[in-house]
Structure 1
Amino acid sequence: MHGHTALHLGTLDDLRVSVADHQGATVLSLVADVFGGRGHGVPSQWRRMVLDAAPSTAATVLRPLFDPGYSVIPDCVTPTASMPRGDVLTQCEQLRDLSADVLLAELETEFAGEVPTQWRPVIDRPTQWIRAYAQVVQAVWQAFVPVWERARPLLERETERVGSAVVRGAPTPYCPGSAAVAG
């Protein structure tokens, strides 16, 4: 079935818990909330910061990624799949070097040759779309870096808390307020 992503984790006993301060996951959450209509709990001041920093074309560039009927982000441009260490600026460099053929092949596979309407502009001008997408991601991240840096002590404390719980064999559930930035 196409048009959605399914995540199968297995049994709870088989899950390994880890915490990572992943810039790419944060950027994806920001753009999904601000431009994709997907509530990720982004505070209003951060939403305004993202809107002010993003190019005026951001909503148009990001539209194919968050369409309600076919919410698909190809792996080759997903900030979480294509950047295991989470460095957004490195990912933006990699995006600019990404072959349009790689993106087109992933879209062909994902949609079995029947690319939805919202992806047509990408199919028609893949190189331009990739560059525009990289520009949006980079602008959003550069605006958000100061917030990320201020949150670093909270992220480190949350990592220690979860790590301690995992070592004890008793991961504790998420406690609201225990970390300021998801990522």
Structure 2
Amino acid sequence: MWSELHITATPQLSLSISPHVTALAWLADALAGRRRGLPDLWRKAIGARVSRLGHQAVRPLAAPGAAAGPDCLVPRLPSEGDASMHDQLAALRDMPPDRLVRDLEQAFGTGPLPVQWRSAAERPRQWLHGYAGAVADVWSIAEPLWKRARALLDREIARVGVATVRGGPELVLGALSDRIACTERGLRINGLDGGRHDLGGRRIVLVPMLAGKDAVIAGLDGSDAVWIAYPVPGAQTLWSRPAAPAHDELSALMGPVRADLLCAIGRPMTMSMLAADMKITPSSITYHCDRLRDARLITKERRGREVWVGRTRRAEELLELYHRR
């Protein structure tokens, strides 16, 4: 299913650092069967660490085709600003059971609840205790890696900030995830509730996660803002080695590989020529060039067996803006 976020004007972007959303993504990937690219090593560690009650609490997230859940899965919303894991866990542990029941009714209506959530509604205190415990268990595994991600998160803050100041939010929105498509009408997000949402005058709050490459979580119903959580660029490098910071503003905006690719295409050239020049595998060149084409920064044209790429006028203006050639 696809959810559509209809955008009619340049959106206002902000960014929230909310590690609880990372913990939720890890729980969904490791325990709920929603595999989104988390390495097996970490999935197995989570499965072994989380208690039996925690496994039971996460089980509703595993229902086939069910993308919606109660708001209390993320008690301190990213749209309210940064939220520490300590604050999120405190909010979960102090949450009255009737809050869970109200959130379930809001998420699924006043009719019969989906079967996977009925036991939670019948024993809300037990569910909240199990879910809070599962989040805490996951965080005990994820926290060291999260601390190592500081450079990546700082780079992402800079990237979003540059896009906001320079007036190019579509460059950020179009490169959040392969599961998020930036169209003329707005954003289409794969795997959510399948509904249509109008952004109107609301803000878009971006929430970088340290998660598998296909992980996306979103809240599109807020009155003042919507939030979209996505893998922080470069997250995959952290599973094996620390990340390095970006080297300039253009790299902070679109990532160092795509910035260098865009600069390398000073004249039309074939994909194979570009791969050889950049010393990058053809599959990686294809992936990054597709993202640049989606952002309307390059063109691709097949001539016989070769695919030729060239910069667009939009790309030339962007490079001029950042003084990169």
Q: TM-score, normalised by structure 1?
A: 0.80
SS of equivalent residue, structure 2 residue 67? coil
Alignment of 1:102-181 (within 5 A): 102-109=99-106, 110-171=108-169, 172-173=171-172, 174=175, 178-180=233-235
Which residue type is aligned with residue 22 of structure 2? Answer: T
In the alignment, residue 180 of structure 1 is paired with which amino acid? A
Is this contact kept in 2: 1:9–1:15, CA < 8 A? Answer: no
* 1:90, distance to aligned residue in structure 2 (A): 1.6
For the structure 1 residues 32 and 106, does the alpha-carbon distance in structure 2 shift closer, same or farther, using more than 3 Å as the test? Answer: same
Q: Which has the higher helix share?
A: 1
Q: Of residues 79, 82, 92 in structure 2, which corresponds to 1:95?
A: 92
Looking at both structures, which has the greater relative contact order when contacts are Cα pairs under 8 Å and sequence separation is at least 6?
1
State how many pairs are aligned. Answer: 177
- SS at 2:38 equivalent: coil
Q: Residue 18 of structure 1 aligns to a residue in which SS?
A: strand
Q: Which one has a larger percent strand, Structure 1 or Structure 2?
A: 2
> More displaced, 166-175 or 140-149?
166-175
Structure 2 equivalent of residue 58 of structure 1: 54
- Does the 8 A contact of 1:27 with 1:79 survive in 2? no
Answer whether contact 2:17 2:82 (CA < 8 A) is retained: no
Q: 1:9 & 1:145 partners in 2: Cα distance?
A: 35
Cα RMSD (Å) = 2.8
Give CA-to-partner distance per residue, 1:36-91, whole Å, 9 cap, x none. Answer: 22232212232233223222333321111342244332112325638742322221
Taking the aligned partners of 1:26 and 1:152, their CA distance within structure 2 comes to 14
Q: Give the distance between the partners of 2:31 and 2:47, measured in 1 at CA.
A: 9
8 A contact 1:64–1:71 mirrored in 2 = no
Change (3 A) 1:102 1:34: same
Per-residue CA distance 1:4-29 (angstroms, 9 max, x = gap): 99563523x33223333320221121
Q: Does the 8 Å contact 2:57/2:130 carry over to 1?
A: yes
Give, in whole Å, the separation in 1 of the partners of 2:65 and 2:49. 28
Deviates more, 1:22-31 or 1:77-86: 77-86
Following TM superposition, by how much is the alpha carbon of 1:149 offset from its aligned partner in structure 2, in angstroms?
Answer: 0.2
1:46 aligned to 42, 45, 51, which one?
42
Further displaced range: 166-175 or 94-103: 166-175
Other structure's SS at 1:8 match: strand
**In the aligned structure 2, how far is the partner of 1:135 from the partner of 1:23?**
16
Q: 1:103 to 1:164 in 2, by over 3 A?
A: same
Contact 1:104 1:126 in 2 (8 A): yes
Where does the alignment leave 5 or more consecutive residues of structure 2 unmatched? 178-231, 237-325
Can you give the 5+ residue segments of structure 1 that lack an aligned partner in the other structure?
A: none
Higher mean alpha-carbon deviation, 128-137 vs 153-162, is at 153-162
Rg larger for? 2
State the percentage of identical aligned residues: 34
Instruction: Provide closer, same or farther for how the CA distance between residues 95 and 50 of structure 1 changes in structure 2, counting only shifts above 3 A.
Output: same
